[in-house]
Amino acid sequence: MLRLALAASLFVSLFFMPAFAATYYEEQTDFDEHSVPEAGYRWDRQSLQVCISKEDGVPNKYYVWSKLAVQDWRSALREYTGDADAWSMSARYAPDGAMAGCDVRVHIYDTYKDFPGYPDQKGAYTAVQYTGGISDEADVYLSPKVLHGDGSTEIDLPGYAFRNSAVHEMGHVLGLSHNAKIKGYLMSPQFDFWEEDDQLPITTMELSTLAEIYGSRGLAG
Ligand SMILES: [Zn+2]
């Protein structure tokens, strides 16, 4: 009887055990694509200092969400590669004009109309300067107010959508390009995250591509 009960409880616990137990990323199970195209640049330094500025009228939560996007990648990369010392990147507040020494500058604007790249750029975007495939510096432009792909509908991004776009742009900073699939993946090009109802996770697909780009030693691999 005891043996039977043990067998039954073992069965139950196996049955209910989650298939995948990572804390900071999810397993990608939608395999239309198996990897994310590489952007053609990568960092080669021990650590990355991300500085975040915001326009005066931008609520503080957007700064916090941008900072969390950096932490999301760091936690996911460390967990995925099993190296808690690598992938050193941190984010701090730095007003525009006080960003000397920052590897990555994140600018949060009131509206997309204030983007330096407007009117060409109407949604979040990233510009990375690199030499011989090695990144020198990067700028990320974010705003809670963007223009829909239809060219006329202004969108106030819900919190999760802004967070998605911040994580997506940090993916570009790290060296990821866009998936072919127009939407559904974190690195899909179509900027329609407001159609989701939650933040998109970082998955094994983005992480395996980054692990391939950087090898096993993190940013200085
Ligand atoms: Zn993008």
Instruction: Output the CA 23–ligand 1 centroid distance in Å.
Output: 25
Instruction: Look at residue 19 and tell me if it is in a domain.
Output: no
**What is the tally of structural domains in the chain?**
1
The model's confidence at residue 53, banded by pLDDT at 50, 70 and 90, is: very high
At 183, the pLDDT band (50, 70, 90 cuts) reads: confident
Centre of ligand 1 from the C-alpha of residue 89, in Å = 20
Asked if residue 20 is part of any domain, the answer here is no
The answer to whether residue 7 is domain-embedded is: no
For residue 92, being part of any structural domain is answered with: yes
| pLDDT for res 31 | 85
- The answer to the question of residue 24 being in a domain is no
176-182's contacts with Cβ under 8 Å and 24+ in sequence apart are 176/36, 176/37, 176/38, 176/39, 176/206, 176/209, 176/210, 177/36, 177/37, 177/38, 177/39, 177/40, 178/36, 178/37, 179/33, 179/36, 179/37, 180/33, 180/37, 181/32, 181/33
For the chain, percent of residues with pLDDT exceeding 90: 71
Is there a domain that residue 11 lies in? no
> Residue 70: which domain range?
36-220
212 CA → ligand 1 middle, Å? 20
More confident residue, 60 or 184: 60
2 C-alpha to center of ligand 1: Å? Answer: 57
Ligand 1 centroid from CA 39, angstroms:
11
- What CATH number should be reported for the domain holding residue 76? 3.40.390.10
193 located within any domain? yes
31 found inside a domain: no
Rounded distance from Cα 19 to ligand 1 centre (Å): 30
